[in-house]
Structures are given as C-alpha cells and as structure tokens.
Structure 1
C-alpha cells in the first residue's frame, strides 16, 4: 500500500512537470512585458510561437508511425526535462530575440511532452494515468499560487486624479472626471528571476520523479503483466505490453466488435471529441477570457481567468479537481462522453456570447452576472477536463500508439483553436475589451 502511494506521488510529480514552464511564463508576463519592446503584444507572439513549436510532437508522432521502436522515448523525456532545467532560469532576459528564441525552444519541449509523457504512463497500471492528469492540472495551479504570493498582476483601481498629471489628458480625450478610476499594478514581492528559479526546482523534482519511476525497485510491481519476480530493479517497458481491452460503444463494452469499420468509427469519434475539447479549453476560449470576465470587474476576472493571471483561479482549480474525481469515478461510456461534451460546449457558447457582447454583457452591473461567469468558467473547465481523462483512459486500453496519437491530437486541437481565434482577436478586433474599474453600460 505504501509503495502504491509512492507511485501515485511520483506519477503526480512527473505530470506536474508537463506544462509548468509555459504556464509559469504566462503567469509572469506582467513583470516581463515592461522589459521588452513588444509590450503587451508579447502574449500574441507567444501564442504563435507555441503553435510553431508543434514541430516537436509532429516529429515524434511520425517517427512512431513510420519507424516504430527507432525513437528512444525515455531518452526524449530525459532531454525534455533536462532542457527545461537549463533554460527556464533565463526566460526573464530583457532582450526580445533571446527571449523569443528561448520561448520557442521551451515550447518545443513542452509540446513534445504531450506525445512522450502520456505514452510513458502506458507502462504503469491504469490508475496512475489519472494521477498523472492530476499532476498535469497542478502544472497550472502551482505557478499561479506562487505568483499570487509574489503579487504579480494584482490590480488596484485608483481615482484618476491621484495619478494623472496636469499635462495628461483623459484616456477618452475628455476632461478628467473625479469619478473615473484607472487600474494600477502593485509591485511584486520578489523578482522574476527568483520565480523562474522556483520553476527550475519543479523541473528538478519532475526529473527525480521520472528517474524513480524508471528504476525504483518498488515501482516495478505497479507495471502491468509484470512477470519478473526476482526482486531486481527492472524497467517497466521491458515487460510484456498489456493486452488490448475492448472499446466502448453506446455505453456498453464490445467483447467482439461487429466489424473493423465500427471499431474505427469509435476511434475517430473519440479523437474528434478530444480535438474539440482541447481546441476549446487550451486556446479557443482562453483567447477571449479577458473579454468575457473584465466587464464584470477585477474580482470576477481574477476568479475566472486561467494562465493569464496569477491567482488560484476557479479554472486552475477545476482541472485537478476533475482529474482527482476521475480516480474514483471513471465512466467509459461514449454516451456519457457525448452528453458531457454537449453540456460543456453549451457553457462555452455562453462564455463566448458574453465575450462578443463585451464591454456590456448580460447582467454586467449585477453581482449575479459576476457569479454566473465565474461558475461558467469553473464548470466549463471541470466538465471538459473530466472528458479528457475519460478519453485518455479509453485510449490507454488501445495501446501505446493510441496514446501517442492522443498527445498529437491534443496539440492539433490546440493549434486549430489558436489559428481560429488569433485573427479574430488580434487582426480584425472582433472583440472589445471591458474596463475592470469603470463601466459605461446602463
């Protein structure tokens, strides 16, 4: 039992290192942006850079497809974690070109983790895959908690007359109004360099966890179909692969598929669902997060938003909670999956609708409006995070290559969401930002 707990802890720590560097970078933007010429255009550049970095998972996926066994997956993971440790500390450099290059390289290894970390968990029992997802959820929450202590992004609404000098004009060109408030960032408690050293420490912990998952004598007992009982330390992937288990169809297990076509239809259906979920949760809706939340005030934005700010937000908390619940209640029904997708998508439609109506969404001057948007973001992330775990559990039963493609589809969905939203937000100005300190809506 104690060894089982140890393996769960190691799997969680390993998962926490999957996206912690990119998540941590987003959190620290309020301190980095003033030091670079791009200013607040930097987040848009980062979004594009992250999508270009998908050449990493594309290469790994193609290697697994056309030259299976040639690519040493374990060596790739060691490189990914080691490279993060070496580069994450210098992400706070002031010059734009070195910063953008470092972001590109760190994005490659983060994106590639989707097609390497997840397949590696195939070597352990199925319950540890859900623990891994809990850790992956914490990769967004932990940096947010640390940045909250740091004080990054904490905004105070102050009267314009207190900070605007006599030679400055009002933001909208009119005379200064004594009742007009402007946001002012509070100074950070400790530097960005110290924050990135903390991220490096997390990656060191991730590396240690990965080494122990490979070589700890007790972990071998958690490998499926373990046939080596001599007590010597062994590598999980040297054991026999787990037998393929039946897929699910209409909520019932198929012991003998009626046809190969039917089975492939199920797989395609699952991959489409996964691409849709990741497009919504990873890039699509987060692109308009500020538009949907800021009109309701600064507090609603801080409680609702994801990577872009530093608080222990509802979105960041919802992900690990959903993954933790899946450890005790996992349903593989495709009917349930479709139902949850529908509910999550409807909530997403509401969030998108409020973003389109910004700066005057529904109930903008009401407390209930702020409460609804916060709860909408929480349940949107909660429901769809649970769906992602269900998909991963099903695909795990299909074998190693299915999990490789699972990671590839995650990156594909994220890319499609980013490519769709980037021109709407940054080129065509389809959305209008709200003001967290003032509202002109009647």
Structure 2
C-alpha cells in the first residue's frame, strides 16, 4: 500500500463534512451576534436538509441516465464551491436583510445552504470515486471523514468556543437584612480569535481537499493503486486464482455470503440476497439517523446536567471515537452481517440510555454523582465507536458490490439523516420537549 495515497484519501475524507461540522461547533460564537439567537440551529437544520437536492439529483442521474454524469467533474465543482462559499462566509456572515418585517441572517443561511449542498453531495460522489482504488483506501477515507468532525472541534477548542466559567450573580430577590443573595451563573469566555478567522480555516481545509482530489485523480503514484489497468465504473471482476482467494476471504469474514453460487439478487455482484441488501441499507439508514442527527441534537441535554466538564469531555471523546473506529477497521475489516447486527443493537441500546437521560434533563439519573458523569461520557464513546464501525463495515461491503452500490450508500446515508431531522426538529425546536440543564448549578433533589 502507498502511504502517499493513504494520506490523500484521508485528506479527501476530511473535506467531506468539515464545513458543516465546523459551522456547528462555532454556534456559541455565532448565536449572540445574529438576530435569530438560539433559534439559529433550528433554521440551520432545515437549510441543511433542504440541501439534499444535491445528492438526490446525482442519485437520479445514476439511476435513469447511467454514465451521463461525469463524477470527477462533479467533485471538482462541489469542492471548489465549498472553498468559495467558505471564503464568502468569512466576509459576509454578519450581513442581514429585512424579511417579513424582521432582520434575518440571509447571507449566513444562504451560504450555509451551498455549503450543505457540497457536503451532502460528497456522500454520493466521494465514495464511488474511492471505489477506483484498492479496498484499504476506502477505510482510510472513512478515517478522514471522522477527522472532518474532530479537527474543527479541536480548532474551536483552541479558539475557546463554548468554554463556560461559573461566576457569582446577584439574585433578583434580597433577604430581610438587605444582604444580596448570590448564585452561580454560566458565562462564555471571550474567544481567542474571531469567527472570520475560523471560516478562513474552513476555506483552507476545502482547498487542501481540492488539492488532494487533484492528486488522487492525476498523480502517477495513485494510478498504480487502482484496482487494475482495466478498471471500469468502480468495479473490476477478479480473474482466476485471484477470484478464488477473494471469495474465500469473503467467506471467512461473512458467513452469509455464498461461495461459487449463482447470483442471489440483481444488486451489485449478486453475492447477497434481496433481503440481505434491504437489511444492510436499513441498518445504514438507522445508524445514519442516530449518529448524524438524533443523538447530536440532544447531546447538550444529555450531558450539561452533569456539568460543563462532562459535556465538553463527551463531545471531545465522541469526536475522537469516530476516526478511532475507522482506524480500527483498517486492521479489522470484518464484513460479517451478524457482527454488524450485534454492534448495531449495542449502539442502539446505548443511544436509548443517552436519549433517556436527555428526556430526564435537567434531572437525569445520578445527576449529583460523579459516576453519572463518567457513565454519560462512556456512553457517548461506546455509541460513536460501535456505530461508526458499523458504517465502515457497510462501506466495505458495498464497495465490493460496485460503483452503483456506493452511490446508493451515500443516498441512504442522506435519507437516514433526513428522516432523523424530520423526527427531531419538531420535538426539540417546535414543542420544546427537552429541557436544558445548567452547567453551573444543579437544582435537583
């Protein structure tokens, strides 16, 4: 394997979602300076889901006009658009305009839509492109995709985003002897550098992604890492002993995969039955909904009651767990459908616990006990670690099923995220079903 190609694959993966992930971690600095206030996340959720028109268009083109869409050209366009939009965001994010008689962050929301189109479309273009290369490079791409969430979080941590200090605040009421009563209040510390500088960083990351893709597309060293000289449309049928070895290897890692049998379905190579294909895509949609939308939307509700340290530690460790799971998959690329189901069940069970703590906020279980904070942090680590590994397993399985399978992989990821957003948006933003805990004071008995 080529270390140079692995590095480029990782950098390409980092550019897949770095813009939107960066926007989310910057919210504590954006919210006080925009007219929408803390309603901004709700608006952003709607805008980001509307951007699924990008992957929808690409998927429909592959379905009804196969071979007509130049995938490489689409990637150049979307990555270039991502770099340009990040630059414009750094310049114009403060600009407002009157809409229905009230000031709105028109520039911020419009540019966010284009950033979301870039990131959403990457799901149905980057993965199929990576099918050109040998199997281990797809796992490296997933490592980079995990880093697309970790790197902005680390930069925001250096910036000082969301760092809360607890200070004494005068209560509204006073005692009979006219001595003021005091209670702790949470206040955000000033950032070390501006929002504009952070958006310039995102622009630089998109330019790095563009350079990585340029080298992946044209560098001779990368060309030697293609499946074969006769590669076509993302899949190359092995020949002779190579085919036998491939089938035996698949059998060792997946007991449900047939060996030397007739095609079991019209999907991909026909190695999986129609029921198994539906099972894989069903798990993918479910996992994507949980990891991309459902649990992130309630992370603050599940963690803040245990204190600000627990919240930041869970957010940081969750961001680390994603690329860690992908890194583990480099050495353990197991493709067992049985293992995938077991890990999904474990991750779903942990997600249920996290969601229960969010529902019970601001008084979840063990809220006044150190063990409660440790348990919620550990739950977030296990949740992200197991389900991120499941996504890699599915990516490896579908990669062997060909180019179209990876296009559908990206489409199902976006579909799962959309369904998760449609479910959680009214619960969180419309009906205010969840109550936030105070990171400095606990009022539970």
- Could you tell me which of 119, 122, 136 is aligned with 1:127? 136
- Could you tell me which of 283, 308, 311 is aligned with 1:273? 283
Is the 1:226–1:239 Cα contact (8 Å) retained in structure 2?
A: no
The Cα offsets for residues 343-398 of structure 1, whole Å up to 9 and x where unpaired, read as: 00000010011111111110000000000000100110000000000000000011
Is the 1:314–1:378 Cα contact (8 Å) retained in structure 2?
A: yes
Once the 2 structures are TM-superposed, how far is the Cα of residue 177 of structure 1 from its aligned partner?
7.0
Tell me the distance in 1 between the aligned counterparts of 2:188 and 2:216: 43
Closer/same/farther in 2, CA of residues 393 and 363 from structure 1, 3 Å limit: same
- Residue in structure 2 matched with residue 27 of structure 1 by the alignment: 25
Once the 2 structures are TM-superposed, how far is the Cα of residue 317 of structure 1 from its aligned partner?
0.2
Instruction: Tell me whether 1:151 sits opposite 2:160 in the alignment.
Output: yes
Once the 2 structures are TM-superposed, how far is the Cα of residue 28 of structure 1 from its aligned partner?
1.2
- Could you tell me which of 251, 257, 261 is aligned with 1:253? 257
Instruction: Tell me whether 1:319 sits opposite 2:322 in the alignment.
Output: yes
Is the 2:234–2:403 Cα contact (8 Å) retained in structure 1?
A: no
Q: Which shifted more, 327-336 or 239-248?
A: 239-248
Once the 2 structures are TM-superposed, how far is the Cα of residue 209 of structure 1 from its aligned partner?
0.6
Closer/same/farther in 2, CA of residues 399 and 238 from structure 1, 3 Å limit: closer
Instruction: Tell me whether 1:108 sits opposite 2:103 in the alignment.
Output: no
Once the 2 structures are TM-superposed, how far is the Cα of residue 87 of structure 1 from its aligned partner?
1.1
- Residue in structure 1 matched with residue 102 of structure 2 by the alignment: none
Tell me the distance in 1 between the aligned counterparts of 2:53 and 2:233: 29
The Cα offsets for residues 399-425 of structure 1, whole Å up to 9 and x where unpaired, read as: 000000000000000011111011111
Is the 2:235–2:400 Cα contact (8 Å) retained in structure 1?
A: no
Is the 1:283–1:414 Cα contact (8 Å) retained in structure 2?
A: yes
Closer/same/farther in 2, CA of residues 38 and 429 from structure 1, 3 Å limit: same
> Which runs of 5 or more residues in structure 2 are unaligned?
97-104, 267-271
Is the 1:226–1:240 Cα contact (8 Å) retained in structure 2?
A: no
Instruction: Tell me whether 1:61 sits opposite 2:66 in the alignment.
Output: no
Q: Which shifted more, 332-341 or 421-430?
A: 421-430
Is the 1:278–1:410 Cα contact (8 Å) retained in structure 2?
A: yes
Is the 1:91–1:102 Cα contact (8 Å) retained in structure 2?
A: yes
Tell me the distance in 2 between the aligned counterparts of 1:298 and 1:240: 48
Is the 1:133–1:389 Cα contact (8 Å) retained in structure 2?
A: yes
Tell me the distance in 1 between the aligned counterparts of 2:391 and 2:7: 21
Is the 1:160–1:176 Cα contact (8 Å) retained in structure 2?
A: no
Closer/same/farther in 2, CA of residues 435 and 66 from structure 1, 3 Å limit: same
Once the 2 structures are TM-superposed, how far is the Cα of residue 251 of structure 1 from its aligned partner?
2.7
Is the 2:254–2:335 Cα contact (8 Å) retained in structure 1?
A: no
Instruction: Tell me whether 1:160 sits opposite 2:169 in the alignment.
Output: yes
Tell me the distance in 1 between the aligned counterparts of 2:54 and 2:394: 23
> Which runs of 5 or more residues in structure 1 are unaligned?
228-235, 306-312
Closer/same/farther in 2, CA of residues 90 and 356 from structure 1, 3 Å limit: same
- Number of aligned positions between the proteins: 415
Once the 2 structures are TM-superposed, how far is the Cα of residue 237 of structure 1 from its aligned partner?
5.6
Where 1:18 maps in the other structure, the secondary structure is helix
Once the 2 structures are TM-superposed, how far is the Cα of residue 152 of structure 1 from its aligned partner?
1.4
- Could you tell me which of 403, 411, 415 is aligned with 2:414? 411
- Could you tell me which of 266, 290, 293 is aligned with 1:283? 293
